[in-house]
Amino acid sequence: MTDTLHPRTRMIHTGSDRRGFGEMSEALYLTQGFAYDSAEMAEARFDGSDPGYVYARYGNPTVGMFEERLAALEGAEACFAMASGMAACNAAMFGQLQAGDHVVAARALFGSCHYIIDTLLPRFGVSTTLVDGGDLDAWRAAMRAETKICFLESPSNPTLEIIDIAGVAEIAHAGGALLIVDNVFSTPIFQRPLALGADMVMYSTTKHIDGQGRCLGGALLGSAALIRGPILEYMKHTGGALSPFNAWVMLKGLETLDLRCRAMADSAEAVAAHLDGRAGIKRCLHPSLPSHPQHALAMTQMERGGTMVTFELEGGKRAAFRFMNALEIAKISNNLGDAKTIMTHPSTTTHQRLSEEDRLALGITQGLIRCSVGLEAPQDLIADIERGLAAAG
């Protein structure tokens, strides 16, 4: 498949590997093992001279189709699919670091990424420095001779802070470190970190790529040297493989990803424009809004503002809970990127583990609501939000 085709076309055809029946929909190879034609072939598979499959912990034809299609979308040389986004974060860190190394990461991270970097890595002799991601001088000042990895998420969860990916990539590379970007919030449709200078991109494919709240999955993408080198080596032996069934669901998810993300971004913009400046709303955050503190930077590195909208109600937790309990369409949950609109109260759920002081440092107040905008008609969503606001008082 030539790479001059539009991503929408490639996401429907790239990676199809038809065997035998000319099947239209890609086959689900629900198999953990592979039979060899001869003992010689088995030997060749194990010594790598025959590139065929050996064991599903490190390769399966359905998972392979998913990896090839996602790599085409990202413009990456290689992709390794994992059991979850956190399996991908784990492999990105433990597959490449050793005792004595140092990691610099933005403070505003997905909770479990924060746990791996700030709690687990130090247990194994890897030191970490967390910085205010928006402050390039802070990244520069945190770099040490032992710094091997810089890690960030942009936009961040849940306050949608934007980090200058090209700026951090330059600082990382000047210090001999790799930049890894968790690109879940922006999606591969609206932001391409590798083109901005990042060395590796991480996904929780559980989110927009599945897109209908069914399966857990994750992926790392980057150069063949990294993905087929230390990442493959780590994954071969540590067991975070993606199930072929989940890969098949997500392979089909990629066929509609572009359309879904654009429809969700249209509605997110409509919701954000409706809430921005509305009475009862202290602040509304979406990268598309001119009132977003980093709107200009966002528009240089993202094609669209994405599918998440975060807003703060006047009246704190009481107003936030009344708002959520009055909704009839949006669901109260903590996933994102789903066809169903989801409302989350970060301070009592996803960020409950942090102290109130740490939450406030991240801008997570008691009145803050994170909304993952789904595929419902935007006028119905706005009516639902108005129902919630009326109840919030």
Ligand X SMILES: *Cc1c(COP(=O)(O)O)cnc(C)c1O
Q: Given the rule CB under 6 A, which residues bind ligand X?
A: 84-86, 110, 112-113, 153, 157, 182, 184-185, 204, 206-207, 216, 218, 336
Residue 202 CB, shortest distance to ligand X, in Å, is 7
Tokens 């002799």 — which residue? 125
For residue 259, the Cα-to-chain-centroid distance in whole angstroms is 18
Comparison of 206 and 365: residue with beta carbon closer to ligand X: 206
Q: Report the alpha-carbon distance of residue 61 to residue 49 in Å, rounded.
A: 18
Comparison of 117 and 281: residue with beta carbon closer to ligand X: 117
Q: Report the alpha-carbon distance of residue 156 to residue 153 in Å, rounded.
A: 5
Comparison of 15 and 158: residue with beta carbon closer to ligand X: 158
Residue 158 CB, shortest distance to ligand X, in Å, is 10
Residue 305 CB, shortest distance to ligand X, in Å, is 16
Phi and psi, residue 332, nearest 5°: -90, 110
Q: Report the alpha-carbon distance of residue 316 to residue 381 in Å, rounded.
A: 22
Per DSSP, 241 falls in state B
Q: Report the alpha-carbon distance of residue 361 to residue 131 in Å, rounded.
A: 12
Residue 213 CB, shortest distance to ligand X, in Å, is 12
Q: Report the alpha-carbon distance of residue 245 to residue 91 in Å, rounded.
A: 21
Residue 207 CB, shortest distance to ligand X, in Å, is 6
3-state secondary structure of 180: strand
If you write DSSP's letter for every residue of 181-226 in order, what string do you get? EE-TTTHHHH--TTTTT-SEEEEETTTTTT-SS----EEEEE-HHH
Comparison of 169 and 336: residue with beta carbon closer to ligand X: 336
Residue 318 CB, shortest distance to ligand X, in Å, is 27
Phi and psi, residue 148, nearest 5°: -110, -30
Comparison of 84 and 128: residue with beta carbon closer to ligand X: 84
Comparison of 110 and 248: residue with beta carbon closer to ligand X: 110
- Measured from each CB, the residue nearest to ligand X is 85
